[in-house]
């Protein structure tokens, strides 16, 4: 329930590791904040549309396109919104309000059209426009034909049938939903940082894609990891996984792993807490060797999984820590802990599951062999949390949190100070007993309050008042041991005695003292206390 400084902070940061590691940090989806509509030249004799009607058929390479917003005619031109155009052409289209400019970005292509201009800039060169941008009901409209032909598409308008027929070269595979493109022929890979930056070539992908491809980008520190997963049947589901390390907009390392029947995203990074802050490490694997890179892109650790597990197999890598790895052998499918502290290997199902759940893990082959355990986080002192959803529960059941205490840390755990109650910590809380208060909202880390800093002591006194208010007036509730589905939004109060406690924002506009991971919590509904809590959040100077 109550951990020491290292334990508690590691526990709360587990949310970041678990929920944000597959989220893009700088790669944006194509959706834009403004609706921009784009016309195709049509017969000038067509009458001006008096209402929006989706009676225009659009095909691209013979495939009928269903747009989210109805298309319509205006003075013989067909108009479409920006989201549909971006999806249709596989491009990024944005509207810059300050510059009053529409920009389309694509590999080797940037098209800019200022509002009111009779020309566009195509890769910096002026090109005349037959139809300028228009503003209708506060929305900007741009010519589809111009943009379509800029990316090499051929556009034909059939007035009699109200058909727009587009033929577009399939030179580039757009890897949705991110701004990433792959050239089918050259294997050049392109990436857009955001809607206001040009699309850049980052290098060549060493791969022959065969099936459905999805992308998992992750940015940590100076390193970006881009994972491309190629899924196809042969005859069972098969996954070819290509992992790229990107620095300074260039691919500097590539790894390739193959998995049968089952693929779970390999971890791409982990963090180590240091008194000076968090240290980031990047992880790449080919399923047999794990490589760990520091923030300078240098290899600092290498792990041979076959040697460590004594299994000749390919492995999924769920987690890497300072002295452990959590991997899944592809053939058995049984999640395995490699304890680097004592060089032991443990099949986690044998330690965490019982009865029919354990039998299922060892015997089941459908849809794939193995268990349904997944790594949850390192909560310190050799205690690892795992997420488990039993196959015998209904689909709406919440997953269970299971903990494994590594034997290699048994002596350290015995030496830990006795856990104090919430009331004991609240009553002893002062500028003399609080070492630090670490504050975060998901990935956003605020300036910590340090007990030895005089300028932070008023903030620490506020934290202590909040703790005493919650324990005195709050309602105690015991939460089940599950994993929350949201990021951690709160603060960790770390005491000189070595223990700590969290205060976090709970649903229903409440403050809670305890842990979302389960166990005893105290909830308080008090608007003034929440305001004091929020005022403690100060962003560090850049």
- DSSP readout, 129-190? -SS--EEETTEEE--HHHHHHHTT-EEEEETTTTEEEEE----EEE-TTSSEEEETTT-EEE
Check residue 28 and give its pLDDT: 30
Overall average pLDDT of the 204-208 stretch: 93
For residues 133 and 119, is the Cβ–Cβ distance under 8 A? no
CA distance 346 to 248: 39
Q: What is the pLDDT of residue 14?
A: 33
Asked if residues 448 and 439 have their Cβ atoms less than 8 Å apart, the reply is yes
Contact 204, 187 (CB under 8 A): yes
CA 327-330-336 angle, to 5 degrees, is: 30
Contact by Cβ (8 Å): 122, 150: yes
Give the position of tokens 């790449």. Answer: 284
- The closest alpha carbon to 177, from 282, 250, 59, 92, belongs to 92
Nearest-angstrom CA–CA distance, 318 and 324: 11
What is the CB neighbour count within 10 angstroms for residue 452?
Answer: 9
pLDDT single digits (tens) 401-456:
999 999 999 999 998 888 899 999 999 999 999 999 999 988 788 999 999 999 99
Compute and round to an integer the Cα radius of gyration of the chain: 28
pTM of the model: 0.75
Tell me: the pLDDT tens digits for 106-158?
A: 999 999 999 889 899 999 999 998 777 777 777 777 777 888 889 999 999 88
Q: Identify the band that residue 4 occupies on the pLDDT scale cut at 50, 70 and 90.
A: very low
Phi first, then psi: give them for residue 377, nearest 5 degrees.
165, 160
Q: With helix as H, strand as E and coil as C, how does 491-502 read?
A: EEEEECCCEEEE
Please report the pLDDT score of residue 396 as a whole number: 66
List the one residue out of 323, 251, 327 whose CA is nearest residue 286.
327
Nearest CA to 277 out of 461, 497, 446, 515 is that of 446
Query: Which pLDDT value is given to residue 269?
Result: 92
∠ CA 245-247-250, nearest 5°, is: 85
Smallest CA-to-CA distance from 301 within 276, 328, 324, 332 is with 324
Q: Which of 72-81, 318-327, 378-387 has the lowest mean pLDDT?
A: 72-81
Mean pLDDT, rounded, for 162-171: 90
Give yes or no for a contact between 353 and 343, defined as CB atoms under 8 angstroms apart: no
Element (H, E) at 419: none
Contact 500, 514 (CB under 8 A): no
How confident is the model over 450-492, as pLDDT tens digits? 999 999 999 999 999 999 999 999 999 998 887 776 678 899 9
């Amino acid at each position: 329930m109550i951990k020491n400084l290292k334990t508690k902070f590691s526990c709360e940061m587990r949310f970041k590791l678990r929920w944000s590691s597959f989220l893009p940090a700088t790669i944006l989806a194509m959706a834009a904040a403004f609706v921009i509509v784009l016309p195709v030249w049509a017969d000038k004799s067509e009458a001006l549309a008096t209402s929006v009607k989706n009676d225009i058929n659009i095909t691209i390479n013979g495939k009928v396109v269903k747009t989210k917003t109805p298309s319509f005619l205006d003075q013989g031109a067909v108009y479409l919104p920006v989201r549909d155009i971006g999806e249709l052409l596989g491009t990024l289209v944005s509207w810059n309000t300050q510059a009053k400019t529409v920009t389309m970005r694509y590999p080797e292509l940037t098209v800019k059209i200022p509002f009111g201009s009779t020309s566009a800039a195509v890769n910096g060169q002026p090109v005349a426009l037959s139809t300028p941008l228009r503003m209708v009901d506060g929305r900007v409209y741009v010519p589809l034909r111009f943009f379509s032909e800029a990316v090499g598409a051929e556009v034909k308008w059939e007035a009699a049938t109200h058909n727009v027929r587009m033929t577009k070269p399939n030179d580039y595979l757009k890897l949705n939903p991110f701004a990433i493109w792959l050239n089918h022929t050259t294997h050049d890979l392109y990436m857009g940082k955001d809607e206001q930056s040009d699309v850049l070539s980052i290098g060549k992908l060493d791969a022959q894609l065969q099936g459905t491809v999805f992308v998992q980008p992750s940015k940590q520190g100076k390193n970006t990891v881009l994972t491309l997963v190629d899924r196809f049947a042969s005859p069972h589901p098969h996954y070819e996984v290509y992992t790229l390390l990107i620095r300074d907009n260039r691919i500097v390392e590539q790894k390739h792993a193959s998995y049968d029947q089952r693929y779970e995203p390999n971890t791409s990074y982990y963090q180590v807490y240091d008194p000076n802050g968090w240290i980031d490490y990047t992880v790449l694997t080919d399923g047999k060797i794990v490589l760990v890179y520091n923030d300078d892109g240098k290899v600092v650790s290498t792990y041979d999984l076959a040697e460590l597990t004594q299994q000749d197999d390919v492995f999924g890598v769920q987690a890497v820590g300072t002295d452990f790895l959590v991997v899944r052998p592809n053939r058995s499918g049984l999640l395995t802990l490699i304890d680097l502290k004592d060089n032991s290997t443990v099949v986690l199902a044998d330690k965490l599951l019982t009865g029919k759940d354990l039998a299922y893990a060892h015997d089941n082959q459908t849809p794939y062999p193995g268990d349904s355990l997944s790594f949850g986080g390192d909560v310190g002192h050799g205690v690892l949390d795992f997420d488990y959803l039993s196959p015998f529960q209904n689909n709406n059941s919440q997953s269970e949190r299971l903990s494994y205490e590594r034997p290699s840390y048994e002596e350290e755990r015995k030496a830990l100070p006795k856990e104090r109650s919430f009331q004991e910590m609240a009553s002893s809380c002062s500028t003399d007993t609080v070492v630090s208060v670490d504050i975060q909202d998901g990935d956003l880390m605020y300036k910590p309050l340090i007990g030895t800093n005089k300028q932070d002591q008023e903030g620490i006194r506020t934290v202590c008042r909040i703790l005493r208010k919650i324990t005195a007036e709050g309602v105690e509730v015991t939460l089940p041991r599950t994993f929350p589905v949201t990021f951690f939004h709160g603060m960790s109060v770390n005491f000189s005695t070595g223990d700590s406690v969290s205060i976090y924002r709970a649903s229903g506009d409440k403050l809670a003292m305890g842990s979302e991971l389960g166990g005893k919590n105290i909830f308080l509904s008090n608007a003034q206390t929440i305001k004091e809590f929020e005022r403690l959040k100060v962003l560090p100077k850049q």
